[in-house]
């Protein structure tokens, strides 16, 4: 049994990770400040004998004893991370420093939940881990993009300078139950609009592409990376390499929900990347991982979840 700390544990990914760790027998300490995390995501874990929750902001030091740290704390959707851009940057950078300091003191292994946003609006397609990216350092998305890039820098410097055992995972678009209904991400946007019978908002001409990974697959990749040998540091892309246009996604949501919603077009947001697709060669070879859930299957599960959420007035 390991004592595992999950920062951002009440969030979309964090709550699923807590479930997975408890299922395999670990002791889980979940921390969250509820900026974007939701109590209902972990409500089913209340009273679990191996689950503990502390309300805490990672920009402040935390003094606990743990064997592993999954650092997931940070708002991850443009709507949320742009709401308080300074705090977003602090969460990525100061949060990383605090968690790395904890890992250094306790000799814990630590995994950083980084992001495909470190590649910016890429000139290389699909994106491989050795691509340095094309990021606007002063744009409206920079608080997140550059914050995560700086966090990666800190992780590798702590590894080189202090021999901290690190893992860095670059997460590509992920979807599934427990997504925040108002996070502004394309999957949740389309589904909620469809279920409410509203127009489905398509930004730009709909030809921009994304690759969508179902949450169960993503969490499997995350756990595999943490459990991999000490020679596997990352960064490693984890995501679904199958590419879809935004129009294809909108059409699939319309079909699967049975909505009569119409598609309306809006201008493309600033610095929004045209293409995003992971090269997962390293994940396949080093982790034995690749996604198993197809988009339509994952969308159906996600739609079922949002039917209950929208019914609650979310």
- Of 15, 22, 30, nearest to 50 by C-alpha is 22
CA distance 77 to 36: 10
Confidence of residue 206 (pLDDT cuts 50, 70, 90): confident
Q: Has residue 125 got a pLDDT over 90?
A: no
In this predicted model, what pLDDT tens digit does every residue of 277-302 receive, in sequence order? 899 999 999 999 999 999 999 999 99
Q: Has residue 231 got a pLDDT over 50?
A: yes
Q: Which helix (H) or strand (E) holds 24?
A: none
Indicate if 186-210+242-277+293-311 has the same CATH topology as 3-174+214-238: no
pLDDT at 193: 93
Question: How crowded is residue 313: how many other Cβ atoms within 10 Å of its Cβ?
Answer: 6
215-244 average pLDDT score: 96
pLDDT at 313: 46
CA distance 185 to 168: 23
CA distance 9 to 138: 29
In this predicted model, what pLDDT tens digit does every residue of 146-195 receive, in sequence order? 999 999 999 999 999 999 999 999 999 999 999 988 887 889 999 999 99
Q: Kindly report the three-state secondary structure assignment for every residue of 66-112.
A: CCEEEECCCCCCHHHHCCCHHHHHHHHHHHHHHHHHHHHHHCCEEEE
Confidence of residue 75 (pLDDT cuts 50, 70, 90): confident
CA distance 160 to 140: 32
305 catalytic residue (yes or no):
no
186-210+242-277+293-311: CATH topology: UDP-galactose 4-epimerase; domain 1 (3.90.25)
User: Rounded to the nearest 5 degrees, what angle is found at the Cα of 173, between the Cα atoms of 293 and 204?
Assistant: 120
229-235 average pLDDT score: 95
Question: How crowded is residue 233: how many other Cβ atoms within 10 Å of its Cβ?
Answer: 16
Residue 111 corresponds to which tokens in the numbers above? 């995994």
CATH number 3.40.50.720 given to 3-174+214-238: yes
Q: Measured over all CA atoms, what is the biggest interatomic distance in the chain, rounded to whole angstroms? A: 58
CA distance 192 to 307: 8
Strand partners, 120: 134
Q: Return mean pLDDT, the chain.
A: 92
pLDDT at 273: 64
Residue 292 corresponds to which tokens in the numbers above? 């198993």
Domain ranges of the chain: 3-174+214-238, 186-210+242-277+293-311
User: Residue 302 CA to chain centroid, in angstroms?
Assistant: 16
- Set 81, 144, 158, 175: catalytic member: 144
């Amino acid at each position: 049994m390991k004592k595992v700390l999950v920062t951002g544990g009440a969030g979309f990914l964090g709550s699923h990770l807590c479930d997975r760790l408890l299922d395999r027998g670990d002791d889980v300490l979940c921390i969250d400040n509820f900026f974007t995390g939701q109590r209902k995501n972990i409500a089913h874990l209340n009273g679990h004998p191996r689950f503990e929750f502390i309300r805490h902001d990672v920009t402040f030091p935390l003094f606990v004893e743990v064997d592993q740290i999954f650092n997931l704390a940070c708002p991850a959707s443009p709507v949320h991370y742009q709401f308080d851009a300074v705090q977003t940057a602090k969460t990525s950078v100061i949060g990383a420093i605090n968690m790395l300091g904890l890992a250094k003191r306790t000799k814990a292994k630590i995994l950083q939940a980084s992001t495909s946003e470190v590649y910016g609006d890429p000139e290389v397609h699909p994106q491989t881990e050795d691509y340095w990216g094309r990021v606007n350092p002063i744009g409206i998305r920079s608080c997140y993009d550059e914050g995560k890039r700086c966090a990666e820098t800190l992780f590798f410097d702590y590894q080189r300078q202090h021999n901290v055992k690190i893992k860095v995972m670059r997460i590509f678009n992920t979807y599934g139950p427990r997504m925040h209904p108002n996070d502004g991400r394309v999957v949740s946007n389309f589904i909620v609009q469809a279920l409410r019978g509203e127009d489905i908002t398509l930004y730009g001409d709909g030809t921009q592409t994304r690759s969508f990974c179902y949450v169960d697959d993503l969490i499997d990749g995350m756990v595999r990376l943490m459990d991999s040998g000490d020679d596997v540091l990352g960064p490693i892309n984890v995501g679904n390499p199958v590419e879809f246009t935004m129009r294809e996604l909108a059409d699939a949501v319309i079909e699967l929900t049975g909505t009569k919603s119409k598609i309306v077009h809006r201008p493309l947001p600033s610095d929004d990347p045209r293409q995003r697709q992971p090269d997962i060669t390293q994940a396949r070879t080093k982790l034995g991982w690749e996604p198993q859930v197809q988009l339509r299957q994952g969308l159906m599960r996600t739609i079922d979840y949002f039917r209950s959420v929208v019914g609650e007035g979310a």
